């Protein structure tokens, strides 16, 4: 039995520094996000009909930001589902370990930036929904 509740995931408001020639958001380790970042990756050139995600992680924390455009993220903890629409570069969705996620409805030019607590490790993924249901029940 693995305890990860969707209520542990939340929107974090990120700092926005406004200048006359555009805005800046700067994320400093442990200051703006509640984990140490060991990897940054981003999804781009995403077809509108694409379904991304479709997995859970065992120990990975992530902060997901729509740095450009918009997309939806649906979270599932084995019981509850919550859908977020991300469309602000100064808002990040914190996803704790043990939460299933699906990303879709990407706008044209949408870019999904992810800060992650660990380096890439395929053995941290649960990619089958039945395996996930067993993991959380």
Catalytic (active-site) positions: 55
In the complex, the smallest distance separating the C-beta of residue 24 from ligand TYD, rounded to whole angstroms, is 25
Buried/exposed 11-24: b ≥16 CB within 10 Å, e otherwise: eeebeeeeeeeeee
| Alpha-carbon span 111 to 87, nearest angstrom | 10
**Residue 43 found at the interface with ligand TYD (CB under 6 A):** yes
Q: Out of 5, 52, 58, 118, which residue is the one contacting ligand TYD (CB under 6 A)?
A: 52
**Residue 69 found at the interface with ligand TYD (CB under 6 A):** no
The sheet that has 39-43: what strands, in order across it?
10-13, 91-95, 62-68, 111-116, 39-43
Q: Which two tokens stand for residue 127?
A: 């990619």
Residues across the chain: 137
Q: Out of 23, 120, 133, 134, which residue is the one contacting ligand TYD (CB under 6 A)?
A: 120
User: Among residues 23 and 36, whose Cβ is nearest to ligand TYD?
Assistant: 36
**Residue 42 found at the interface with ligand TYD (CB under 6 A):** no
In the complex, the smallest distance separating the C-beta of residue 19 from ligand TYD, rounded to whole angstroms, is 32
User: Among residues 13 and 120, whose Cβ is nearest to ligand TYD?
Assistant: 120
**Residue 58 found at the interface with ligand TYD (CB under 6 A):** no
Buried/exposed 64-103: b ≥16 CB within 10 Å, e otherwise: bbbbbbbbebebbbbeeeeebebebbebbbbbbbbbbbbb
**Residue 53 found at the interface with ligand TYD (CB under 6 A):** yes
Q: Contact residues for ligand TYD (CB under 6 A)? A: 39, 41, 43, 52-53, 120
């Amino acid at each position: 039995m693995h305890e990860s509740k969707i209520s542990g995931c939340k929107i974090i408001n990120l700092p926005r520094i406004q200048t006359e020639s555009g805005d800046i958001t700067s994320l400093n380790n442990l200051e703006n996000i509640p984990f140490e970042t060991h990897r940054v990756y981003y999804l781009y050139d995403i077809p509108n009909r694409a379904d991304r995600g479709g997995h859970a992680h065992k120990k990975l924390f992530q902060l997901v930001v729509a740095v450009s455009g918009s997309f939806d993220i649906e979270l599932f903890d084995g019981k509850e589902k919550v859908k977020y629409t991300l469309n602000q570069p100064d808002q990040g969705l914190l996803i704790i370990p043990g939460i299933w996620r699906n990303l879709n409805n990407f706008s044209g030019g949408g870019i999904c930036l992810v800060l992650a607590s660990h380096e890439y490790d395929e053995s941290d993924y649960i990619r089958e929904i039945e395996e996930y249901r067993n993991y959380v029940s």
